[in-house]
């Protein structure tokens, strides 16, 4: 992809660009925890966007999406959110300008291999790659954490997704062959190596497409925030669900109502599972990590209610082979997308064949499979 994006840029704009890359991400544990100031376990992966970029001399941006064969031009002073991918780039530009960075227009060609809607956060990678390029071209000197916040701002204000910081942080600060144990309150992380000869990470795309800007995702975040106000009546030290113990949650069940209480039970339980999984991963105890993944899926299915029949079917197929598939769960915001599976290398092909056959028989859809490796975050590559 790098060579085709680079070549197209050179042929179209008649100059040599700088080349940047930004990876998608997976999340081993901690779904829907980042916006509750919890601790999560993401990693950058070997699916990415490549950006060929050069600074312009005016306020005009010329952008071409190589994969879509779509291009458009706009002024940095006319950033109007619409319904297309350009929203994300406009949001990033707006974030730089709001920080007082003296940007100009840019010429950009981008493309990549991150599957849309599969839960690898293609939108975060799009924002983070563009932000990395702007930071370099205009010598803004912003830290990677600041770039992550700009990318998050773009998703909030220009794409309408009230997401946490995990996706952007992982895309920018990911490390090769490692997960990040990311504290979303302190915005710091610990590197946890993941280099095992025993299992690989396999994503299975249900081919059910979700739209995280839809009301379901934002409603769940709102329920979590509303619950904090009720908890503070009895426990004033609570700032977010990060501060809540199961006993505290039990004490305010009537005030929360059954649905909100179940949402909170999942989040509080998941925060505990993340810490247990991190401890097990440090000890290379993949059986324990996998068991926690299955528990997480059950919580996402019954308490947080963000699963669907297709995802549940895929996890059930994995659970039937737990000796060979130690862990599986839905990954991402839910309502479709991928499951993430820990699969023993020796069983990979047999598992893929089993899933393909049974999934098609049940849903008349062909799932896609992605073997992922953990890579470094967004950076200048040429």
293 and 150, same domain (yes or no): no
What is the mean predicted confidence (pLDDT) over 200-213? Answer: 83
165 and 269, same domain (yes or no): no
HSE (side-chain half, CA atoms, 13 Å) at 28: 36
**CATH number of residue 67's parent domain:** 3.30.230.10
332 and 280, same domain (yes or no): yes
140 and 205, same domain (yes or no): no
Last residue of one domain, picked from the residues 163, 193, 223: 193
135 and 281, same domain (yes or no): no
Segment among 2-11, 45-54, 153-162, 300-309 with least mean pLDDT: 153-162
* Identified catalytic residue from 107, 167, 205, 321: 167
**How far from the centroid of its chain's Cα atoms is residue 190's Cα?**
18
Last residue of one domain, picked from the residues 168, 193, 218: 193
What is the mean predicted confidence (pLDDT) over 175-196? Answer: 94
Residue 167 annotated as catalytic: yes
- The tokens describing 101, both together, are 């960075």
Edge-to-edge order in the sheet of strand 106-112 = 70-75, 60-65, 106-112, 42-55, 18-27, 379-380
Separation CA 144–CA 151 (nearest Å): 10
How many domains are contained in the chain?
2
Mark residue 301 as left, alpha or beta (left: phi above 0; alpha: psi -120 to 50; beta: remaining).
Answer: alpha
78 and 64, same domain (yes or no): yes
Q: What is the DSSP letter of 337?
A: S
pLDDT at 212 over 60: no
- 102, 66, 334, 183: CA torsion to nearest 10: -40
**CATH number of residue 210's parent domain:** 3.30.70.890
In a domain, 214, yes or no: yes
pLDDT band at 214 (very low <50, low <70, confident <90, very high): low
Mean pLDDT of the chain: 94
pLDDT at 211 over 70: no
Separation CA 33–CA 278 (nearest Å): 15
18 and 84, same domain (yes or no): yes
pLDDT at 109: 98
325 and 346, same domain (yes or no): yes
167 and 296, same domain (yes or no): no
pTM as predicted: 0.93
Name the nearest CA neighbour of 63 among 85, 47, 81: 85
Q: What are the two backbone dihedrals, phi and then psi, of residue 217, each rounded to the nearest 5 degrees?
A: -65, -50
Last residue of one domain, picked from the residues 161, 193, 225: 193
Q: Which domain range does residue 50 map to?
A: 2-193
pLDDT tens by residue, 284-313: 999 999 999 999 999 999 999 999 999 999
């Amino acid at each position: 992809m790098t060579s085709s994006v680079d070549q197209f840029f050179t042929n179209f704009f008649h100059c040599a660009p700088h080349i940047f890359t930004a990876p998608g991400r997976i999340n081993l544990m901690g779904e829907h925890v980042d916006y509750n100031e919890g601790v999560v376990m993401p990693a950058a992966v070997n699916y990415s966007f490549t950006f060929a970029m050069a600074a312009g001399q005016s306020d005009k941006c010329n952008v071409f999406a190589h994969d879509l064969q779509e291009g458009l031009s706009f002024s940095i002073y006319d950033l109007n959110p619409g319904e297309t991918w350009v929203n994300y780039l406009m949001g990033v530009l707006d974030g730089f300008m709001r920080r007082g960075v003296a940007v100009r227009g840019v010429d950009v060609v981008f493309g990549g291999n991150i599957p849309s809607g599969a839960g690898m956060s293609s939108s975060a990678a799009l924002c983070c790659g563009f932000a990395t390029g702007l930071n370099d071209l205009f010598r803004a000197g912003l830290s990677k954490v600041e770039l992550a916040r700009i990318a998050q701002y773009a998703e909030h204000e220009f794409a309408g997704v009230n997401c946490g910081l995990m996706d952007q942080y992982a895309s920018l600060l990911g490390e090769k062959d490692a997960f990040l144990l990311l504290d979303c309150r302190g915005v710091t992380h610990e590197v946890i190596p993941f280099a095992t000869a025993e299992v690989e990470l396999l994503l299975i795309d249900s081919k059910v497409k979700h739209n995280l800007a839809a009301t379901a995702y934002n409603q769940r975040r709102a329920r979590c925030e509303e619950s904090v106000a009720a908890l503070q009546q009895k426990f004033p030290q609570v700032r977010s669900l990060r501060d809540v113990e199961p006993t505290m949650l039990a004490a305010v069940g009537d005030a929360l109502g059954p649905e909100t209480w179940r949402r909170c039970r999942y989040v509080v339980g998941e925060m505990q599972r993340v810490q247990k999984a991190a401890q097990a991963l440090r000890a290379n105890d993949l059986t324990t990590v996998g068991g926690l993944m299955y528990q997480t899926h059950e919580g996402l299915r019954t308490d947080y209610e963000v699963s669907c029949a297709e995802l549940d079917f895929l996890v059930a197929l994995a659970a039937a082979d737990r000796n060979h598939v130690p862990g599986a769960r839905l990954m991402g915001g839910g309502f479709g997308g991928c499951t993430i599976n820990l699969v023993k290398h020796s069983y990979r092909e047999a598992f893929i064949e089993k899933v393909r056959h049974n999934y098609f028989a049940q849903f008349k859809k062909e799932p896609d499979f992605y073997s992922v490796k953990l890579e470094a975050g967004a950076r200048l590559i040429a």
